[in-house]
Amino acid sequence: MTDLDIQEQVSLQTYNTLAVDVTTRWFVAVRTNEQLCSALQFVKTQQCPLLLLGGGSNVVLTDDFSGLTVLIQTQGVHVEQQSDTRVLLSVAAGENWHDTVMYSVKQGWYGLENLALIPGSVGAAPIQNIGAYGVELTQCLEYLEAIDIDTQTLQRFDRDACQFAYRDSIFKHALKDKVVITRVVFTLSTTPVWSLDYPALQQALGGYDKAQLSSEQVAQAVIAIRQSKLPDPALIPNAGSFFKNPIVDIALYQELREQYPQLVAYAVDEGRYKLAAGWLLDNAGWKGRWLNRIAMHDKQALVLTNPHKQSGKALLAFVDTVIDDIQRVYGVQLEIEPRIYGNDTQSMC
Ligand code: FAD
Ligand code: NAP
């Protein structure tokens, strides 16, 4: 068993982007898969809960944690295969997501550019099938590897096995708390595969000749748009979009459209529509609104901000008020996107 530098009673405030101050009983940063296995062995021996963290940008921590928090910091990027048209890029779970996107666009590869500036680690990206500007991780994932927490065996999951859906995957359901993702292999194209339909992106790239466009230019446009409306977690603690965009049936969509002609919504399939949760919140007066020193962001109502570093419980109380209000105004139930960790939700391994 590899030696581990396990610390006791560590604050997690700097390890989650909402800057919530909870204490973990044990804490360890792992830089190799061997260290990761030793950490899993520790959890088994102690029979304590396990909390995996990458960038901590999609979690809400509501209580002190009684187990081991494992910060995934494994490193390594290499080309697994390359042809004239396609590159398979293997990236360790602890690598930074945005750095990976920028590395790929600098090589002149296409596929990840719309996903620039999403915070967090590569290993967490498949958990919610990260998406932005019309592209989801699933479109570029060849396969991933994960260690089974119970048996500590390495398993391989191809795209189908991950059961990706809108901000969703098997890792939020049947495999929740069952595996640690250790490596993600991306399939990237050496020729353009654009997804430039989102209005903001179209506007930003309006002056460009599409035939001359590079993936790096698209990534830079995405970065500029994001910087103009999303708060930097290092300056204003937040976890990105706090709610998923609700998917509703056509009857409710039509009812709402009649009442609110400006409603922002997109057809998902013949019978269902995706409502822009940011619009619902903005129109109900939540953009920039403060309550108990917590606020919805003044440039994007979907982003809950925690400038005064309030507790996770205070954040959830605020969120309950928002959810109730949206239900009252539109008859729509908002669903929280980040994962909540508290005494009620700790899992034993
Ligand atoms: P963490 O918050 O550390 O972990 C998230 C979950 O994954 C936890 O349950 C954790 O236990 C688990 N986990 C972490 N690593 C592993 C692993 N190796 N194996 C198994 N489980 C693991 N999301 C989008 O989809 N699109 C966006 O455009 C977007 N924009 C954002 C903008 C901002 C400003 C912020 C703060 C967040 C945004 N997010 C977005 C949300 C977030 O960045 C992503 O969900 C990201 O993938 C989370 O990565 P992380 O490493 O921070 O995960
Ligand atoms: P936006 O571009 O103002 O769009 C508002 C909403 O409309 C988005 O939620 C988006 O849905 C939807 N939309 C816009 N154009 C669309 C199209 N052509 N087809 C289908 N749906 C369309 O949104 P934004 O808030 O500035 O965010 C930009 C992108 O970054 C979005 O994709 C968003 O999901 C992503 N983002 C995610 C997070 C997070 O934490 N999850 C945080 C910041 C930004 P989708 O959300 O389904 O794309």
Q: For position 1, what pLDDT does the model report?
A: 63
The answer to whether residues 136 and 107 touch, using CB atoms and an 8 Å cutoff, is no
Match 């999303």 to its residue by tokens: 230
Q: What is the mean pLDDT of residues 76-95?
A: 98
Give the dihedral of Cα atoms 6, 10, 14, 19; nearest 10 deg: 140
pLDDT at 56 over 50: yes
Q: What is the pLDDT of residues 301-333, one digit of tens each?
A: 999 999 999 999 999 999 999 999 999 999 999
Q: What is the mean pLDDT of residues 193-216?
A: 90
Residues 6+ apart with CB under 8 A from 97: 55, 115, 118, 119, 120, 121, 122, 124, 125, 130
* CA–CA distance, 298 with 205 (Å, rounded to integer): 25
Q: What is the pLDDT of residues 22-51, one digit of tens each?
A: 999 999 999 999 999 999 999 999 999 999
* Residue nearest atom 22 in ligand 1 by C-alpha distance: 124
Q: What is the pLDDT of residues 244-288, one digit of tens each?
A: 999 999 999 999 999 999 999 999 999 999 999 999 999 999 999
Q: For position 13, what pLDDT does the model report?
A: 98
pLDDT at 154 over 50: yes
Tokens of 293: 């020193």
Q: For position 209, what pLDDT does the model report?
A: 82
- Taking the centre of ligand 2 as the mean of its atom positions, its distance from the CA of residue 132, in whole angstroms, is 6
Q: For position 101, what pLDDT does the model report?
A: 98
Beta bridge partners of 143: 158, 185
Q: For position 161, what pLDDT does the model report?
A: 98
- Residue 305 CB–ligand 1 contact under 6 Å: no
* Residue nearest atom 21 in ligand 2 by C-alpha distance: 266
Q: What is the mean pLDDT of residues 75-100?
A: 98
Identify which of 61, 127, 144 to mutate to test ligand 1's pocket (most ligand atoms within 8 A of the CB). 127
Q: For position 250, what pLDDT does the model report?
A: 97
* CA–CA distance, 125 with 119 (Å, rounded to integer): 10
Beta-carbon neighbour count of residue 344 at 10 Å? 8
**Residues lining ligand 2, Cβ inside 6 A:** 131-134, 197-200, 229-230, 240-241, 245, 264, 266, 276, 278, 300, 302, 337
Q: Sign (positive/negative) of CA torsion 232, 237, 240, 243?
A: negative
pLDDT at 222 over 50: yes
Confidence of residue 345 (pLDDT cuts 50, 70, 90): low
- Annotated catalytic residues are 167, 241, 337
Q: For position 211, what pLDDT does the model report?
A: 85
- Residue 91 CB–ligand 1 contact under 6 Å: no
* CA–CA distance, 341 with 302 (Å, rounded to integer): 21
Helix axes 215-229, 97-106, angle to 10 degrees: 150
Taking the CA of 118 as reference, the closest ligand is 1
What percent of the chain is modeled with pLDDT above 70? 98
Q: Is 38 helix (H, G, I), strand (E, B) or coil?
A: helix
H-state helical runs in the chain: 33-46, 97-106, 199-204, 215-229, 250-259, 277-283, 312-330
Q: In whole numbers, what is the pLDDT of the chain averaged over residues?
A: 96
Q: For position 16, what pLDDT does the model report?
A: 98
How large is the C-alpha radius of gyration of the chain?
Answer: 21
Q: What is the pLDDT of residues 111-130, one digit of tens each?
A: 999 999 999 999 999 999 99
* CA–CA distance, 109 with 135 (Å, rounded to integer): 15
Confidence of residue 348 (pLDDT cuts 50, 70, 90): very low
Instruction: At 288, give phi and psi (nearest 5°).
Output: 75, 10
Query: Could you please report the per-residue DSSP string of 282-340?
Result: HHTT-TT-EETTEEE-SS-TTEEE-TT---HHHHHHHHHHHHHHHHHHHS----B-SEE
User: Which of the 8 DSSP states describes residue 245?
Assistant: P
- Residue 222 CB–ligand 1 contact under 6 Å: no
By C-alpha distance, which of 195, 191, 180, 87 is closest to 134?
195
Confidence of residue 349 (pLDDT cuts 50, 70, 90): very low
pLDDT at 347 over 50: no
- Residue 338 CB–ligand 1 contact under 6 Å: no
